[in-house]
Structure 1
Amino acid sequence: MERRRFSRVVFPTEAVVETEEGRFTARLKDLAYGGAYLFSEKKPPLGKDIFIRFFLSGLEPRIEIQFEAEVVRQGKDGFAVKLKSIDFSSLSHLRKILYYNLPDPDLAERELKALLGESLLEL
């Protein structure tokens, strides 16, 4: 059985998925530093690079999180992606989502350091 490297948090929200073939909407199921799972009838092919964006609700101005990902698994109800690149602003917001939603905030910080490597200075 596969062991995940990063802890996931349930984070249901609408997301826009962009591929070379066009864009479509999906629903985020969960998020982690390593990637996400999205509910969708459309499923990009395995190995395909895609761009995902979503907004945090209830905030003005709206905060957008966006990242590039690779499709690594397809399920009956959607697909899983592995994070490939993320801008600093989006990473900062993802950090807050995980910090406040994981049962252990210190785990979120340890996983971020594992993602970015030991060269990471204080955040």
Structure 2
Amino acid sequence: MTHQDSQRRHFTRIPFDAEYKLHTADSSKHWQGIILDLSLHGVLVQRPEDIQASRGDEFILDLILNANDVNIQMEVHVAHSHDTFIGFECKHIDLDSMTHLRRVLELNLGDPMLLERELNEMIHLKE
């Protein structure tokens, strides 16, 4: 089992239907689409038709939540890429975005203790 496979097991992915906007770090290229699932560690999105994305490529991803005009922004890199979807791993997320992400996951998981365990696991993986 690779380190990446081991990490995947630590974070519960929830099906999540929301829009995303994606752009390169220099904002020279933009895409948008639908999020398929979400976790503390990353996001799986519907692949835009015109994107050239390879493992390790870095982007800025904005998750748009219509409720209260909340925006969750993450610095991400491509973890895996397929014909119809792309999996991004979160490299950095600011405190406000993490707070919103935590709340979204808490509401959708229905188990605050599970989320707390995953947050602790994420902290240990970063050390």
TM-score by length of 1: 0.85
On the 8 A contact 1:43/1:74 being kept in 2, the answer is: no
Deviations 1:87-109 (A, max 9, x none): 00000000011111114221111
Within-5 A mapping of 1:33-44 = 33-40=40-47, 41=49, 42-44=51-53
Runs of 4+ in 1 over 3 A off after TM superposition: none
Q: How many Å separate the matches in 1 of 2:76 and 2:90?
A: 4
Deviations 1:39-61 (A, max 9, x none): 023352211011100221132xx
Within-5 A mapping of 1:74-113 = 74-113=81-120
TM-score by length of 2: 0.82
Q: How many Å separate the matches in 1 of 2:87 and 2:124?
A: 23
Query: What is the RMSD computed on CA atoms of the aligned residues?
Result: 1.9
Query: Structure 1 residues 109-118 or 65-74, which shifts more?
Result: 109-118
Q: Does residue 47 of structure 1 match 2:52?
A: no
More helix by share: 2
**Structure 2 gap segments, 5+ residues each:** none
